[in-house]
Amino acid sequence: MAEVRNPELRIVGGHPVLDLVNTVTPRRPGGREHITSPTALLAWSRRVGLVGAGEARTISAAWRTRSGSAGQALHATLDVRESVYGILAARLADPTPGPVAALEHLTLRWAAATARSTLVAGADRPAEVVVGTDPAFVVPDRLAFAAVELLRAVDPRHVKECPVDEGGCGWLFLDQSRNSSRRWCAMADCGAQAKARKLTERRRAARASTVRAPRR
Ligand SMILES: [Zn+2]
């Protein structure tokens, strides 16, 4: 797997919520979990730019002050992640899926995030929704909002999956190429590996056919 070569998790989804979905490798049952603790969650959030350095310190302090809140934030985040993945995976499997239970899950997380949000009106600028008035839940709340935004704004046909049956990792990504031709999460990783594998298979097949050349 790519992670053995490169322990740093790649960020290739093209949207923070797709990058969240891609914190399991391969994106299949039994895949490796990258967000294994609240600390790992905070490090990932910093890396994708979801929170700034000052905010990360505030969040850490809130988690320390309120026992259990770090675990709750982690649980909520993973719930948002699996809900979004469930919704998008259902769409990938069937462009017109029936009711998806994951949508209800995300609705609940989004409603909780909304309850912890506030509207700020500036004198000389438009009003603004500030998500995450409770520092302990800033990360899952922002992700729940971003997930809803992603589902509302992005054409589902542009969300693609790195093809597992061809040796890819199952990660989701936003295909922003002009002719929607992107196939792999990252050509340098899954694409190149699949290419190399195909080449080896072709060589093996060629060798086998030489061995089985007609005898006289
Ligand atoms: Zn891939």
Q: Quick one: pLDDT at residue 212?
A: 66
Q: Mean pLDDT across the stretch 69-84?
A: 98
For residue 216, being part of any structural domain is answered with no
Strand partners, 131: 117
DSSP letter assigned to residue 191: I
For residue 1, being part of any structural domain is answered with no
Position 214 confidence tier, pLDDT thresholds 50, 70, 90: low
Q: Quick one: pLDDT at residue 151?
A: 95
Q: Quick one: pLDDT at residue 63?
A: 98
For residue 77, being part of any structural domain is answered with yes
Which domain CATH number covers 153?
A: 1.10.3300
119 C-alpha to ligand 1 centroid (Å)? 39
- Find the domain containing 92 and state its range: 13-211
For residue 194, being part of any structural domain is answered with yes
**What's the total number of domains in the chain?**
1
For residue 73, being part of any structural domain is answered with yes
3-state secondary structure of 12: coil
pLDDT in tens, 1-23: 333 444 578 899 999 999 999 99
For residue 4, being part of any structural domain is answered with no
For residue 162, being part of any structural domain is answered with yes
For residue 82, being part of any structural domain is answered with yes
Position 102 confidence tier, pLDDT thresholds 50, 70, 90: very high
166 C-alpha to ligand 1 centroid (Å)? 10
Closest CA to 137 of 76, 52, 201: 76
173 C-alpha to ligand 1 centroid (Å)? 9
Task: Supply the mean pLDDT for the chain.
Answer: 90
The DSSP-derived string for 66-97 is STTHHHHHHHHHHHHHHHHHHHHHHHHH-SS-
17 C-alpha to ligand 1 centroid (Å)? 16
9 C-alpha to ligand 1 centroid (Å)? 12
With a cut of 90, say whether residue 201 has pLDDT above it: no
